[in-house]
Every structure is written in structure tokens, then in C-alpha cells.
């Protein structure tokens, strides 16, 4: 594990504006003395309001996606410039729901990664295999391909602003967490991929979060593993008390 841990809440398409503000207030209060690094990622419409709540605190504002383009005729899209203008520092890219429900390709995700980095945002790049890919013995190959393609043409220097989130798709929102040993095996493998792409130093320093039904009951065991450096948390991040327990693992 790399410390302090990087504990991020992906709120997905949950919470109205008032509810998001309330949750953000609770999270800020819960983690104000915490020793880790924290992020919350509300939906686009709630970013501005949550930004006011987390400003000046130890909670970073994240977005859940961005456009591949900088501006123009792209109805329904949100640009990196717009995100920055409301205080977003980090953008989650390549989430499995973007890949598998909305058809985002590795090429699109890579374009977003490079655009976000070029515009000064940090990136959490999500990777992870489907259940059938795991059962077919392809988990490593899928994670390697998503890592290599997602980080294509990213410089070693910019990797200081990239976090990887390993989220096995079969574990997301299902209550089926990967065992700490299974998760560790993929994390170590992905670190090896980073080593071959960027060298030892970058591979050692890059944070790799685990995501997929991480909760207040299993976080400590997952985070105790040598290559698990934080969590990207969905369901449990919607309840401040649960997020707080994960946030305080040391
Ligand atoms: P989950 O979601 O914690 O609800 O499984 C994690 C994620 O998709 O980021």
C-alpha cells in the first residue's frame, strides 16, 4: 500500500442538489481529521454546489466523466474547462458503466485522459474485467489492454497526476467483492504493466485504487494489501457513516 490512502466516493447518478450538499457536508465533517486523501465525485449538475461545501477542506472535488472535445457542437457533453470553472480537480474516466453501458472505447477514454491532463486536471483511470472475461482466464489481458490503451501517449511526468482504479465489473454494485488476494494479484500485475510502460519509479509511485463493493466491513483487509493504495467507492460512499469508516482506515 501507498500512504496516505486515496479514498474516493463515486456518487454516480444519485442525489438531487440539496441531497448532494447535505452528503458533502457530512463527508467533510466526517473526514476533517482524517489522515488520508479524500475525493467526492457528484453528478455534473451538483458539482458547483458541492464545490462550495468542499472548498478549503481536505476533500477534493471530482467529476465522473468529461467530453473528448474542448468546446463546440457536442450536445449533452461537458468540457474539462467547464469542470475546472466550478472547482473540479480530478476526473474519473473509463468507468465500466461508461465503457459497457455507454459504449466508450479505449481510444475515446485515452483522448479524454490526455485532454484532462493537458488542461491541468488529475485523472482516475478505471480498468477492470467482466465476469465472463475473468472466467475465461482473461482478467490480466483485459486489464493490461485497458491500461496500455488508456495511457497511450501519456508522459512519465504526467503519470504523477494519474491514479488507476481496478474495478472488476462483476464486483461493482453486486456486493461481491474481490477477495483481498485476488484484488492484490491484479494490482501487482497492473503495477508490472506500468513498470514496463513508464519504468520503476513511476510504477512504484502510482496509486492503484480498488473498486467494487468496497465497504466499511471489507476496506481494511483490502487496503492492507501491498499494492492496494485506496478505494473508489460507489454504494458505500452514499452513506456518510460508511464512507467515514473506510476513510479512517490507516
Ligand atoms: P460500488 O461501485 O462500490 O457500488 O460497487 C464502485 C464503482 O463503480 O466505482
Q: Tell me whether residue 49 is in a domain.
A: yes
Active site residue 241: no
Pocket of ligand 1 (CB under 6 A): 10, 167, 172-173, 211-214, 232-236
Q: What is the CATH number of the domain that holds 117?
A: 3.20.20.70
Nearest CA to ligand 1 atom 3: 234
Whole-angstrom distance, CA of residue 174 vs CA of residue 164: 21
What confidence category does residue 176 fall into, taking pLDDT thresholds of 50, 70 and 90?
Answer: confident
List, for residues 90-133, the tens digit of each pLDDT value.
999 999 999 999 999 999 999 999 999 999 999 999 999 999 99
Residue with cell 482466464: 137
Q: Is residue 212 part of a domain?
A: yes
The three-class DSSP label of residue 66 is coil
Has residue 1 been placed in a domain?
no
Minimum-distance ligand 1 atom for the alpha carbon of 214: 3
Q: Which atom of ligand 1 is nearest to the CA of 211?
A: 6
CA distance 219 to 249: 8
pTM: 0.98
Task: State pLDDT tens for residues 135-174.
Answer: 999 999 999 999 999 999 999 999 999 999 999 999 988 8
| 3-class secondary-structure state, position 18 | helix
What is the 8-class DSSP label of residue 21? H
d(CA 62, CA 73): 24
Write the pLDDT tens digit of every residue in 178-215. 899 999 999 999 999 999 999 999 999 999 999 999 99
Q: What does the alpha-carbon distance between residue 48 and residue 13 come to, in Å, rounded to a whole number?
A: 16
Is 234 a domain residue?
Answer: yes
**102 lies in a domain?**
yes
- 90, part of any domain: yes
The pLDDT assigned to 177 comes to 84
Ligand 1 center to 55 CA (angstroms):
25
Which of 97, 129, 167, 187 is catalytic? The answer is 167
pLDDT single digits (tens) 45-93: 999 999 999 999 999 999 999 999 999 999 999 999 999 999 999 999 9
Q: Is residue 101 part of a domain?
A: yes
- What is the 73 CA–ligand 1 centroid distance (Å)? 32
| 72 Cα to the center of ligand 1, angstroms | 32
Residue 1 pLDDT > 90, yes or no?
Answer: no
Q: Tell me which residue range forms the domain holding 152.
A: 6-247
How many structural domains are present in the chain?
1
Amino acid at each position: 500500500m501507498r500512504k496516505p490512502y486515496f479514498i474516493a466516493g463515486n456518487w454516480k447518478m444519485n442525489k438531487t442538489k440539496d441531497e448532494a450538499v447535505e452528503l458533502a457536508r457530512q463527508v467533510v465533517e466526517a473526514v476533517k481529521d482524517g489522515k488520508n486523501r479524500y475525493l467526492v465525485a457528484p453528478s455534473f449538475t451538483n458539482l458547483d454546489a458541492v464545490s462550495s461545501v468542499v472548498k478549503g477542506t481536505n476533500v477534493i472535488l471530482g467529476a465522473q466523466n468529461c467530453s473528448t472535445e474542448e468546446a463546440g457542437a457536442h450536445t449533452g457533453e461537458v468540457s474539462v474547462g467547464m469542470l475546472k470553472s466550478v472547482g473540479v480537480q480530478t476526473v474519473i474516466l473509463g468507468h465500466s458503466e461508461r465503457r459497457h453501458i455507454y459504449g466508450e472505447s479505449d481510444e475515446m477514454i485515452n483522448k479524454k485522459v490526455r485532454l484532462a491532463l493537458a488542461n491541468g486536471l488529475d485523472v482516475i483511470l478505471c480498468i477492470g474485467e467482466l465476469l465472463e472475461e475473468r472466467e475465461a482466464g482473461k482478467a490480466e489481458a483485459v486489464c493490461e489492454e485497458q491500461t496500455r490503451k488508456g495511457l497511450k501517449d501519456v508522459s512519465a511526468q504526467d503519470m504523477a497526476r494519474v491514479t488507476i482504479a481496478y474495478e472488476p465489473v462483476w464486483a461493482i454494485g453486486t456486493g461481491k467483492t474481490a477477495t483481498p488476494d485476488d484484488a492484490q494479484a491484479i494490482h501487482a500485475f497492473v503495477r508490472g504493466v506500468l513498470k514496463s510502460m513508464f519504468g520503476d519509479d513511476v510504477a512504484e509511485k502510482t496509486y492503484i485504487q480498488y473498486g467494487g463493493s468496497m465497504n466499511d466491513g471489507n476496506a481494511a483487509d483490502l487496503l492492507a494489501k501491498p499494492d492496494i493504495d485506496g478505494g473508489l467507492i460507489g454504494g458505500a460512499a452514499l452513506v456518510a457513516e460508511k464512507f467515514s469508516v473506510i476513510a479512517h482506515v490507516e
